[in-house]
Amino acid sequence: MSMAPAQRSVGSSRRLTQVRDWTPTPRDHFPSPADWRNEVLYFLLPDRFSDGREDQRQLATPDAVPSMRPSSWSWEHWAQSGALRYQGGNLAGIESKLPYLAGLGITALWVAPVFKQRANTDDYHGYAIQDFLEVDPHFGTQNDLIKLVQAAHQFGIRVILDIVVNHSGVNWLYAPDVPGGPVRPDYVSPPQQLPFGAWLDRAERPTTRISDPNDGVWPVEFQDQNAYTRAGSADPGKGATDDPLAEFRRGDLMNSRDLDVMRDDVLSPLVRVWQYWIDTTDCDGFRIDTLKHLPYDAARRFCGAIKEFADSIGKHNFFIVGEMAGGDLVASRYLELLGANLDAALDINDARSALHRVARGAAPALEYFQMFAAGADPMGSHREHGNRHVSVLDDHDNVGVPKIRFAAEAPSPDQVVAAIAIVALTLGIPCIYYGTEQALSGPEREVRRWLPSWNNDRAPYADRYLREAMFGPQHPRKAGQAGLAGEAGIDTDLPGFGAYGTSGLHCFNVDSPVYEKIREILAIRKQYAALRYGRQYLRQTSLFDRPFSYPEAGELTAWSRILADSEVVCVVNTHPLDARDADIVVDSALHPPGSTLTPAFSFSDYQSIRVQGRSDGTAFIPVRNVPRSGVLILT
């Protein structure tokens, strides 16, 4: 386990209102990992993960959930709670679950934004910042964030903070007479600045003066109306990727005001804001929200300045991963142009869609694996691809795939394990979305017809079903500022948005079969360097002495990870219902006929498998009766 340097003292800190007043404090900082391919990330929303009081609640048992709901249960109210309200998760709760995460095999924690939102709104997801230099009181204090990072480091877990660079929250209004209205006016093309109206005070009323910490926006550097593009509401997909003035870059996104990052007097304080948080918290990386909305030059300058600062304090491999929706070509372009300033792209585009289909048995394995091949994938060769992308099955948005968790459509929890095995054992830096290790899936199928916007991506708040609260709140917080009033801020008129369609029940079950199997797979990944650094080859398969070929949809999918003279063979049955057999090609130089491969992990009781050969020199292993969605790792 990595040990942290001597801990800094944690005490109350004065409110910083101008980022130009900050100067770094000389201290030891926790070192970066040598290679991020060694890490396993875990992504969570602070509001939906833990409040640290699970010992006061009963454990939700998925099979028994219907009997655990009260007789007065309302699906409408449960769904309303999840769409609109803070549930009460916080930073102290995350800290309390570090043993749970370490036990699973997590080594890096990606935390959705914890920075201060507008006090009178319920932007629990954290992407609409009002004060860039404060922690949102729903989640705790700046000291709570510092303590979380320190405690994580003691467990050998690094912390990646989710940050926002290209926009703030809706902290001001346009002029009242602009077309479309002052909140979300029509986009203007060609791009030009629309008239500024007024700042919003803590009660969401227009004001010309910012005098309270909940008024307008902070720090002071962003209280200039010319710091914003003021171009109106954008179509997030409209405009050419190479155009720095494209609509998706100049216009406001939903619940945001776009910052004019092309201006030095805007980009420079943004850089200092996020350098401040590195120095203050000792975090280990950033996930940059909506990076594709930054023009290339602004993105390069921002990431380069962050990297330089991290180097200056001894964090020489500070991790920067960008969210770039819109296809692998977009992600590839940013990786190419930003070079060493951007470590990796989130794999939320074409590869994730293919991963879902292959893991469900709905597409042949080649559809996913060909994206790793040199010359076939725009994101690079099979050697460099492994440390240039973060592989995810689900996240809080599920762009490009249904806005329900993968587990919701799985015929058994084992299919979730099979999908995570593909994520963890193929090239890349694996990331697990909170609750996947418990196969969170929403309520049982027969009641989903009662749920508004279930599996309807175009409906309002469709993403709520990706965001169940693992800790099982009995009730959510009240709306707006009233929700900050301690116990008095609890809304007893609504149920909490708990896992599997419950309230008052937590689901941190370290004995669940899915948790246990994922833990074993991650332990094997840690044990064998080939599974982290090795070259990757999708293997051809055969049955009944037929010619070897790449497997069809729903058949055994096998691939090798080879590092020097070490080969690890990974096998997943992608059929959701039936067992499968196959002869699987292996490297004849490393495993000639007569040698053996031994299971390091298996859904069944496999013994060593002897390598056989065909007359043409092909070496293969006969693998039989792999159960539905079964996983086999051979070394």
**HSE, side-chain direction, 13 A CA sphere, residue 519:** 15
Q: Which of 10, 222, 263 is nearest to 116 (CA)?
A: 222
pLDDT at residue 353, as a whole number: 95
Could you tell me the pLDDT band of residue 377, with boundaries at 50, 70 and 90? Answer: very low
pTM: 0.96
Q: Which residues of the chain form CATH 3.20.20?
A: 41-170+287-295+320-372+395-412+434-516
pLDDT at residue 14, as a whole number: 62
Task: Say if residue 79's pLDDT is above 90.
Answer: yes
Spatial separation of the C-alpha atoms in residues 288 and 202, rounded to whole Å: 27
pLDDT at residue 293, as a whole number: 95
Mean pLDDT calculated for residue range 396-406? 95
CATH of 41-170+287-295+320-372+395-412+434-516, one of 3.90.25, 2.60.40, 3.40.50, 3.20.20: 3.20.20
Contacts of 138 (CB under 8 A, 6+ apart): 47, 86, 88, 90, 117, 124, 477, 483, 484
What CATH number has the domain spanning 533-634?
2.60.40.1180
Spatial separation of the C-alpha atoms in residues 151 and 283, rounded to whole Å: 12
pLDDT tens track for 343-370: 999 999 899 999 999 999 999 999 999 8
Mean pLDDT calculated for residue range 589-599? 96
Spatial separation of the C-alpha atoms in residues 61 and 82, rounded to whole Å: 20
Out of 107-116, 180-189, 328-337, least confident range: 328-337
Provide φ and ψ at 379, rounded to 5°.
-85, 0
3-state secondary structure 438-498: HCCCCCCHHHHHHCCCCCCCCCCCHHHHHCCECCCCCCCECCHHHHHCHHHHECCCCCCCE
Q: Which residues of the chain form CATH 2.60.40.1180?
A: 533-634
Share of the chain above pLDDT 70, in %: 96
Average pLDDT, the chain: 94
CA distances from 522 to 106, 152, 424, 445, 519 (A): 8, 18, 7, 30, 5
pLDDT tens track for 115-154: 999 999 999 999 999 999 999 999 999 999 999 999 999 9
> Which residues does residue 561 pair with via DSSP β-bridges, in sequence order?
536, 568
Spatial separation of the C-alpha atoms in residues 569 and 538, rounded to whole Å: 10
pLDDT tens track for 493-547: 999 999 999 999 999 999 999 999 999 999 999 999 999 999 999 999 998 889 9
Give exposure, 487-522, as e/b (b: 16+ Cβ within 10 Å). eebbbeebbbbbbbbbbbbbbbbeebebbebbebbb
pLDDT tens track for 545-574: 899 999 999 999 999 999 999 999 999 999
Long-range contacts of 493-496 (CB under 8 A, 24+ apart): 493/77, 494/77, 494/78, 494/80, 494/81, 494/85, 495/73, 495/74, 495/77, 495/78, 495/81, 496/81, 496/87, 496/88, 496/469, 496/472
pLDDT at residue 606, as a whole number: 86
